[in-house]
Structure 1
Amino acid sequence: MRLPGRMAAAIAVLEDIESHRRPVAEALKAWGLANRFAGAGDRAAIGNLVYDGLRRKRSHGWAMQSEAARALVLSVVVREWGESPESLATLFADDPHAPAALSPDEVARLSATDPLAGAPAAVVADLPDWIAALLEISLGHDWIVEGQGLTGRPPLDLRANLLKSDRARVMKALSRFSPQEGPTSPWGLRLAAGPRDARTPNVLTDEAWLKGWVEVQDQGSQVVSLLCGVQPGEQVLDLCAGAGGKTLALAALMGNKGQIFAHDSDRTRLAPIYDRLKRAGVRNVQVRPPAETALDDLVGRMDRVVVDAPCTGSGTWRRQPHAKWKLTPEQLALRVAEQQQILDDAARFVKPGGSLAYITCSVLPDENGAQAQAFLARHPEFRVVPGHGLWHKAFGGSGARARFTAEGGILLTPATTGTDGFYIARFERAQ
């Protein structure tokens, strides 16, 4: 397929997403199944067009004065992929699978020298108005830049598994992908996102991954795992372990010494952890599936409790841009209530002198600083460990940057840290 045919396909996928309210990945898969002639390169290019359009839906919509699928795809191809109205006219004329010819109005809008002239700040930041208001409160004058940081293509981040290998060895094994050292994590590798129709390397078929030398894990997730402060020999509860990404990182930090209890309330989310532990060579993790008394014997005994709380996922909007436009204040309120309940439950497992790490992949203050402050108000037996000190101890002198919140937490963002959005606050229980 040539570019015009790929554009027509992307328009069809975006229309399917809008009309059937289905997830992006599901809509792309459905299109692929219905159009089996399309090769891997075609599917990657179509996916890039769809995701690029959704990441900057408001700004592209403002520039075109329409958020219709066609308008978004045309704007992406001109403003992000480097085409022009003239080049598109030539390409469309020679391709029977192209979208309809550009209208005079479309040519004028695609040719505008200042496509966001007069646009409200929330449009420039590519955020819904109500979310823009939240970020402005929590991030101050930087909130527009931070919003824009959530609209770029994300890199593919990897973590060298120190239980089996090291970063230098993994970089050599993956040299054909041209990996770079990650910007913050001492075990991180990064494969940069390419332009236009670039395909993401499939490292899951590589020998290094099959041998367990490397894991796919965002740099931000690696960093907050490190900031949990786990040490070899400790007793650790990973209360919301999910598929085990942070569990594996914690096990490597502990050198397989001590004990990690991995638990999740959802058996389906937890299911992949067993194969991942085996491939990574992890021997100090005991999986506790959901059951009424699954964790009763751990109450008051844990050196560390890690809560990777269910959240809106706003920090991952580069990867899941459709979620940005679907989120509602009511859904946010439900997440906040769920997080409060989980934090209160987690507190009972921390022994005197132990610590509780609260983590989200969110950039919204309700889920982060406000949640941490409310926890401290309900639990005077805990105090927050100041984020500045944690960061300096872990990364002092490295030049790594983060944002520090008023209550003592640490916020990672694409614009500031070059990672997905993550928040961590670490609390210590009185002796």
Structure 2
Amino acid sequence: MKYHRVLVEAIVFSLTEIFEKGRQADKVIEQVLKSNRKWGARDRGFIAENTYEIVRWWRMLDFVTGHLGNPSYLDFFAAWQLLKGNELPPWTEFAHIKPAAIRQAYEEAKKSRKIRESIPDWLDEIGAAELGTAWEDELHALNQTAPVVLRANTLKTTATELKEALASKEIFTEILSGLPDALKLKEKKNVFQTDYFQNGQFEVQDAGSQRIAPMLDVHPGMRVIDACAGAGGKTLHLAALMHNQGRLIAMDVEGWKLEELRRRARRNGVSNVETRVIEPKTIKRLRDTADRVLLDVPCSGLGVLRRNPDSKWKMKPNFLTQIRQTQYEILTNYSQMVKPGGKLVYATCSILPSESEDQVKRFLAEQGAKWQLLEEARTSPARDGFDGFYMACLTKPL
């Protein structure tokens, strides 16, 4: 393959921003791709894919380039190309790279899971402790490239209609069984440039995530609260399931996220959403008022590592301790908004039981007969091929 210096330099710049300035990988790549309008789809794909993959395999690449002394970002790029089976260009910057040494080091790397699967020691230990033998398969699956899944906005179209419309633009998809609104792309395409996205006929939403809103069992005319709404992916799904009827309150502690939600809601043709920034008295005022409450709580994000590979390098052990405490505080406090006879769904995008099943068990044990577990489910990257989500539906008896 032919390498262009400006594209490789863009990758090195992106890695510098991510690892030295601590910026989020997706934000960096978005900025870099906008910096040169002359780049075509292939150029943009080359930059984005290589940057994400080098971030994903950072520890392994650090190991296989270790013999170089103080390897540079360019050395990591070179090693990654060699491990993919590509030849390096005859640039002076690569003169010191010995392909045989890289490949030999990679054989050594395979002997250690934490190096082979490129994960920090402490995360590997926690994963093994909580998941046992299943950790190996889940970790491996979390290092694969995530599929692109769309959710047809049923306020405007159906999955079948959307599938046909996208095919007319040579964007081919397949319908996923068990998820009536989901379409998986057969190959990656920039779907955001299509009129169908601009007109709000679909959102990009992982198949695992699409299982959460239906579990809440919403109906038109209900009063529903999405209490950790963020930018609103699940809020929009709830609005569609409610047929735009009833009252849907989307709340978050970050006002800028709710602004993004309002923008997306306009595009989706959603008119029953009201946004509120969470303040000290917000929960108290809404006590016993909601038919349904969704708590998609902050978490480690270990279930979505495929999409955010930089998070495993930025996360610290004390963060997990803190986030578990935050999760439980949200569950105990925000659940008070559910009225008797109502339902609550507690969800995380984590594969760790300590953030998921264990939190629900503790809550039920402490609440006694005030709450009952109706169902719980989990999506597994290793088993299902989608992101790792946990979801539990609880009810507050009359």
- Whether the TM-score (by the shorter chain) exceeds 0.5 is yes
Q: Which residue of 1 aligns with 2:82?
A: 78
- The separation in 2 between residues aligned to 1:271 and 1:244, in whole angstroms, is 10
**Percent identity (aligned):** 32
Q: Which residue of 2 aligns with 1:356?
A: 344
- Sort the Cα spacing of 1:233 and 1:337 in 2 relative to 1 into closer, same or farther, 3 A: same
The Cα shift of 1:364 comes to 2.5
The SS at the match of 1:177 is coil
2:272 pairs with 1:305: no
Output the amino acid matched with 1:423. Y
The SS at the match of 1:263 is strand
1:386 aligned residue (375, 391, 396): 375
Q: Which residue of 1 aligns with 2:73?
A: 69
The SS at the match of 2:346 is strand
- The separation in 1 between residues aligned to 2:205 and 2:341, in whole angstroms, is 30
- Sort the Cα spacing of 1:330 and 1:111 in 2 relative to 1 into closer, same or farther, 3 A: closer
TM-score w.r.t. the length of structure 2 is 0.88
1:173 aligned residue (156, 165, 176): 165
- Sort the Cα spacing of 1:29 and 1:166 in 2 relative to 1 into closer, same or farther, 3 A: closer
- The separation in 2 between residues aligned to 1:39 and 1:211, in whole angstroms, is 24
Q: CA RMSD in A?
A: 2.7
- Sort the Cα spacing of 1:256 and 1:17 in 2 relative to 1 into closer, same or farther, 3 A: closer
- The separation in 2 between residues aligned to 1:228 and 1:71, in whole angstroms, is 49
- For structure 1, the residue ranges without an aligned partner over 5 or more in a row are 194-199, 388-409
Output the amino acid matched with 1:186. P
Q: Which residue of 2 aligns with 1:3?
A: 3
Output the amino acid matched with 1:52. E
The SS at the match of 1:288 is strand
Q: Which residue of 2 aligns with 1:392?
A: none
- For structure 2, the residue ranges without an aligned partner over 5 or more in a row are none
Q: How many aligned positions are there?
A: 391
- The separation in 2 between residues aligned to 1:275 and 1:43, in whole angstroms, is 26
- Sort the Cα spacing of 1:214 and 1:296 in 2 relative to 1 into closer, same or farther, 3 A: same
- Structure 1 residues 378-387 or 290-299, which shifts more? 290-299
Q: Which residue of 2 aligns with 1:53?
A: 54
Output the amino acid matched with 1:418. G
The SS at the match of 2:100 is helix
- The separation in 2 between residues aligned to 1:240 and 1:30, in whole angstroms, is 27
Q: Which residue of 2 aligns with 1:196?
A: none
- The separation in 1 between residues aligned to 2:10 and 2:348, in whole angstroms, is 35
- Structure 1 residues 250-259 or 352-361, which shifts more? 250-259
The SS at the match of 1:342 is helix
2:103 pairs with 1:99: no
2:127 pairs with 1:123: no
Deviations for 1:229-265, whole angstroms, at most 9, x for unmatched residues? 2233332111111221101111212222333222222
TM-score w.r.t. the length of structure 1 is 0.82
Contact 1:305 1:349 (8 Å CA) reproduced: yes
- The separation in 1 between residues aligned to 2:245 and 2:38, in whole angstroms, is 51
2:356 pairs with 1:427: no
The Cα shift of 1:77 comes to 1.7
The Cα shift of 1:298 comes to 3.0
Output the amino acid matched with 2:184. R
- Sort the Cα spacing of 1:326 and 1:232 in 2 relative to 1 into closer, same or farther, 3 A: same
2:147 pairs with 1:146: no
- Sort the Cα spacing of 1:290 and 1:38 in 2 relative to 1 into closer, same or farther, 3 A: same
Superposed, which structure 2 residues align to 1:309-324 within 5 Å?
309-324=297-312
Contact 1:135 1:365 (8 Å CA) reproduced: no
Superposed, which structure 2 residues align to 1:340-419 within 5 Å?
340-380=328-368, 381-387=370-376, 410-419=377-386
